[in-house]
A and B are shown apart, each in its own frame.
Chain A
Amino acid sequence: MLARSCLRSTRILNGARNGATALTKRPISSYSSGASSESPMKLNMTAAASTALAIGSVAWYYHLYGSTAQAMTPAEEGLHPTKYPWVHEHWLKTFDHQALRRGFQVYREVCAACHSLSRIPYRSLVGTILTVDEAKAMAEENEYDSEPNDEGEIEQRPGKLSDYLPSPYKNDEAARAANQGALPPDLSLIVKGRHGGCDYIFSLLTGYPEEPPAGAQVGAGLNFNPYFPGTGIAMARVLYNDLVEYEDETPATTSQMAKDVVEFLNWAAEPEMDDRKRMGMKVLAVTTVLFALSVWVKRYKWASVKSRKIAYDPPKASNRVRD
C-alpha cells in the first residue's frame, strides 16, 4: 500500500512539475504512429540511460549490503589450519594401522591423563590396533563395577573386552576442578567435532610458538596457540620430542607423535572408514556390472526394433482409381 501511494504521489509530482508540456505530450505518445517519428538517437539514449540506471542500482545495492560485516578479529577467529596431505583421506586409502598403533600409544601415555575416550570399547581395538591378547591384558589393568552380588553390593572386577576405555575423571565437574575450570573435551569424536578436523588438531598440537607474538594478551592460566579460536587455550603444549618411545623405533618427534595421534583420533571418530571405503568400491564394482548387463539387455531387447525394416507395400490398387 505504501509503495503504491508513493508511486502515485511521484506521478502527481511529475505531472505538476512538467505542467503543460506533459499534458501536450500525452496525446502524441498515445498515438501509435507518433512513436516512429522519435529519433533513433533519443531511443538509444533512453536504452543506455535505463541500462546505466539498472547497473548503478545493482552496484549501489551491493555497495550497501553486498559485503557482510565481520565483527570478529583474526585472533578471535583463530588461524585456519593448513591442509596436510593425509594419506587416509584419499578415497581409496585406508588408515595406516601402524600409525594407529603408535597413535594409540601416544594417547595412552600422554593424552589419557586428562582426556577421556569414552566411546571406544576395548573390543573395537582388537584387530585394528591391538591383538586380542594385548587388548585383554590392557582391559584387565582397569577395574569396573560388576553385577550386584548376593548382598546387593557392587564389587569391582577386572575389565573385559566389552568394557569401554576408562575416563581419567569421574565426571565433567571433577575434570574442571582438576584443570582450573577448563574441561578437557572427550576425544572420541573430536576429529568430527572440530572445524578443520585432522588438520586443526595436528596444527593445534604442534603449533605452540616458543613465545607469543609481541603485544599479544594471554590470559592467566592460558597458553598462546594461534589455531585455537581466541588464541588463549588452557591446554599447555604437551608433545615434546622423545616423550614416548615407539615400539617400532620410529623417531618420536613432536610432529610424528602428533600425526600418529591425530590419525588414531580420526580412527576413533570413524572406525568404520576402512569398511566404508571398501563398501564404496563394492558398490562401484556392482554398479559397473549392472550397467554392463543393462547395456547388453538393451541391445537384446532393441534388436528387433533396430533391425526391422519398415517397407511400405502399396496395396494393389485397382486400375480404375489410377486412371
Chain B
Amino acid sequence: MGIWDAFTDLVEAATPWSTAEAEAPPPEEKESESQDKGSEESKDGDESKDGGESKDSEEGVEEEAEEDAGEEEEEEDDEELEDPKDKLEEACKNSKTCAPAKHHYDECVERVTNQSDDGDSEAKEDCVEEFFHLAHCATQCAAPKLWSVLK
C-alpha cells in the first residue's frame, strides 16, 4: 500500500462513478445493476437502430409475462422457441435479392435428383456451389436483422 494507492483510493471515493467490484455484491444491488445494464443496452440499440430497440422492449415485455405466468405456459413457450436466424434466412432466401441464387439452386437440385433417379447411380455433379451462393446471399441479407434481434 504505497502513497499512490492512497491517492487512488481518495480519488475513487470522490468520483461519482464507482469501479466494478469483483466481490459478489448483495443481491438487491445486482438486480438494479442488471436493470441498469439492460436499459443501457436498449439505449445503445436506440442510437443505432430504432427497430432493434422496439423489439428488445417487446422481448422484455414477453419475458416479464412469462415470469408472471405459471410453469406450464413457460414449458409451452420453450417448445415453440424458434431461432430467429432460421426465420430471417428463410425470408431472405425467398426475397427478391436472393431470387437468382435460389433459382439456380432449385434448378440444380432438380437436375441432380433426376440424374440420380434415372441412372440409379451417383450423380455426376453436386449442388455445393449453388448452395454456397444461396447461403452467402441469405446470411448476408439476414446478418444486420439478426443482430438487432439478438441480445
- Same complex for A and B? Answer yes
**Quick check: B123 and A215 within 8 Å, CB to CB?**
yes
Instruction: Decide if A248 is an interface residue (CB 8 Å cutoff).
Output: yes
Proximity string of chain A (52-92) to chain B, C-beta cutoff 8 Å, 1 when within and 0 when not:
00000000000000000000011100011111110100000
Contact A255:B84 (CB < 8 A) given known A98-B37, A216-B126: yes
What total of chain B residues lie within 8 Å of the partner, measured CB to CB?
Answer: 46
**Quick check: B59 and A85 within 8 Å, CB to CB?**
no
**Quick check: A214 and B132 within 8 Å, CB to CB?**
no
- 4 closest residue pairs by CB, A with B: A215-B126, A213-B131, A255-B85, A127-B22
**Quick check: A75 and B129 within 8 Å, CB to CB?**
yes
**Quick check: B150 and A259 within 8 Å, CB to CB?**
yes
Determine which of B81, B109, B130 lies in contact with A242 in the assembled complex, contact meaning CB atoms within 8 Å.
Answer: B81
What residue of chain B has the Cβ atom nearest to residue A217's Cβ? B126
Instruction: Decide if A116 is an interface residue (CB 8 Å cutoff).
Output: no
Contact A226:B132 (CB < 8 A) given known A206-B85, A216-B126: yes
- Least CB distance from B122 to A in Å reads 8
C-alpha gap A256/B34 in the complex (Å)? 18
Chain B residues with Cβ below 8 Å from A248 are: 34
Instruction: Decide if A253 is an interface residue (CB 8 Å cutoff).
Output: yes
Contact A213:B128 (CB < 8 A) given known A241-B81, A253-B83: yes
**Quick check: A214 and B150 within 8 Å, CB to CB?**
no
Instruction: Decide if B68 is an interface residue (CB 8 Å cutoff).
Output: no
- Least CB distance from B140 to A in Å reads 5
**Quick check: A126 and B128 within 8 Å, CB to CB?**
no
**Quick check: A80 and B136 within 8 Å, CB to CB?**
yes
CB-CB contacts below 8 Å: B32-89 with A:
34, 37, 41, 44, 59, 63, 66-67, 78, 81-86
**Quick check: A214 and B151 within 8 Å, CB to CB?**
no
- Least CB distance from B13 to A in Å reads 20
- Least CB distance from B109 to A in Å reads 5
C-alpha gap A133/B128 in the complex (Å)? 50
Chain B residues with Cβ below 8 Å from A132 are: 22-24
Chain B residues with Cβ below 8 Å from A126 are: 22
Which of the segments B1-9, B95-103, B141-149 contacts the partner chain?
B141-149
C-alpha gap A252/B66 in the complex (Å)? 14
Instruction: Decide if A188 is an interface residue (CB 8 Å cutoff).
Output: no
Instruction: Decide if A266 is an interface residue (CB 8 Å cutoff).
Output: no
**Quick check: A82 and B139 within 8 Å, CB to CB?**
yes
**Quick check: A82 and B136 within 8 Å, CB to CB?**
yes
Not counting A79-B135, A213-B108, A241-B82, a sample of 13 additional A-B residue pairs whose C-beta atoms are within 8 angstroms of each other reads A84-B143, A84-B147, A85-B147, A99-B151, A214-B112, A215-B116, A215-B122, A215-B123, A215-B125, A215-B126, A216-B126, A226-B131, A254-B85
Determine which of A81, A96, A253 lies in contact with B81 in the assembled complex, contact meaning CB atoms within 8 Å.
Answer: A253
Chain B residues with Cβ below 8 Å from A81 are: 139
